[in-house]
Structure 1
Amino acid sequence: MKKLINNVEDVVQEQLQGMALAHPELTVKFDPCYVVRADAPVKGKVALVSGGGSGHEPMHGGFVGKGMLDGACPGAVFTSPTPDQMYECAKAVDGGAGVLFIVKNYTGDVMNFETAAELVAAEGIKVQNILIDDDVAVKDSLWTAGRRGVGTTVLAEKIVGAAAEAGYDLDQCADLCRKVNQYGRSFGVALTSCTVPAAGKPTFVLGEDEVEMGIGIHGEPGTHRMPIKSVDEMTAYAAAQIIDDPAYTRVVREWDGQDWAEKTLTDAPFAKGDQVIAFVNSMGGTPVSELYAVYRKLDEVCKAKGLTIVRNLVGPFITSLEMQGFSITLLKADDEILKFWDAPAKTPGFVR
């Protein structure tokens, strides 16, 4: 294992200390650990909080700032943060208009954010939580019930963050976040594994001529392995999984202000004539130059399917440590989504 670390047990704390020194516009707390805007709480504004295991940077701490998140809760590498982190973070950022939790669909994240929502509500703070479950590759696994939450999380934090900045109330922010999740689909490809510092060895082993199709952001296995193909072939395969994905129906639990309520949600498939935001993401070890080759083919595939890319994002925004590979996210875009996608944002990991 070759990594820029001191002691394995100090990895996350030392990285956060460096982040705090590099970005005085953020405030980092360590007991329990969370990151907030230095100007938090912003009076009268809905506060957005997300979080998850470290190792996916810049998500989530790098997206704390004006126009995106108000707070983020980092766990240990690839390990969910705890309810007390989420609870203290929510209290620190609540400006009186309530708190929206944006939660990736991983079992630990879901359980801990649900507990935190109950604790926050008991304090008299309005709270809602919206699940992101956009990964078309795997439905149900050792890590999730239902689809995993991946690239659409980044887009939701940008779009809903802008809406909160513009004055949307808590219900409006929750409705928009739910819509972004229903409109977004993702698929990931790994060329190599990654190494969690505490493990000291790769999470899985791929042969020199193998790739893993449909991976998650923690190095979880995908749908299958296959011999490495050209960038055009791998991109076309990943794009087809997203664009041809049928309607997906599932039951989610959302906090209604007093208790948990179950909702049945259905994602509409992409259709000819749709406008989309295209997000081509590096899993951490893939250079941007190669991502542009992916984007080139993705644009071609979308045009052939009758989809028009009207906005794009290319780069490392939701990573898996040093994993080589890429993910594609397509988000159906309407006027509301485009308005807030185009709005200003200023965070360490995303500036517009």
Structure 2
Amino acid sequence: MTDLDQRPATGHGLADALRRTAPALSVYAGVRALGLVVLAVWGAAAGKSPHTLLSARWDSLWYTRVADHGYGWEVTLPDGSVHSNLAFFPLLPWLERALSAVSPLSYADAGLVVSAVASLCAAGGIFAVADRLYGSRAGVCAVALWAVLPVGIVQSMAYSESLFTALAAWSLYAVLTGRWVTAGVLASLAGLTRPVGAAVVAALWVAVLLDARRRGGLAARAALGALLAPLGAAGYVLWVGHRTGSGLFGYLDVQKQWGNGFDGGYAFARFIGEKFTSVPGALAGIGLIVGVAGLIWLYVACVRQQQPAALLVHTGVVVALALCASGYFGSKPRLLMPAFPLLLPLAVALARLRTRRSAGILGGLAVAGAVYGAFWLHGSGPP
């Protein structure tokens, strides 16, 4: 830990940090604004409300129902399976309810505000991690790459991806700077946001073990951070088990009703294989294979880049859970969004280019991502 890491937070230090982060946040806001403008234009042409697409469809509805009615709301499908809102972790609906209670906003609109603020916090956290490891220029590029992802429009929806990524990024930054208790608290909150909060907990635990090995013993604050980290997820999972009467496996039973589970990637591999029964499907299958290969290549690049173990563990768990889950396959791209360290090798490469060239590349990607995001949300299935 450097002297800078040990320095107490002051107003002057915060102002300096904000000034350093401002370019990244400005780029991020510009990219997201472009995505919303394209979505609005597309919606006007298609006769659909962008506001509805962002705040009141698919998972957004389930979160607002939790905020409005609490847990216990469920839907029985024609095949007899039951979709319960117990599948959705509570932090986002808690924030929606709290914001709606102190403002005139509906739960859905509160969700949009929470997501907007959280996405900026996520961008700041991604910048902080990349800046610490590779410099401010790479930090700006990393934030820009996260913003221009083809599924980046989810960052502007009343979904939990932005909130989770913000908590994960800042928890990882706290790990990198030796702020163990802060890292543990943020990891616990991440565990109250999405099931993949396990990735943040695992990253913290590995970092704590490595720190203990380096020191020759476990530091008290590191131990406290490690103990705090799993409390959010464990508390919710145990509560669901108690409520359903299924004990430790209650939450898994809820997810099973939704068709979700962990099968090591068998269902996803079968899904890809089934694409090769027709020419158009074969093209999609090839695209999926290329996409998975690209993810593996990026992870190998992260290893070769010698990223800190915490980042590698977090990314590995997020990718494994996304690719090896048996749930709705159309959601896999957004489930990968918290794996932002995958973007760091690309960010470093972009940072080495001339500003005009890197800006041109990112600008082109931003336009393509905005168009794809509008197309994606106007489709029939949930993102």
Same fold per superposition (TM over 0.5): no
More helix per residue: 1 or 2?
Answer: 2
Give the TM-score normalised by structure 2: 0.29
Larger radius of gyration: 2
Report 1 or 2 for greater relative contact order, CA contacts < 8 Å, sequence distance ≥ 6. 2
Give the TM-score normalised by structure 1: 0.31
More strand per residue: 1 or 2?
Answer: 1
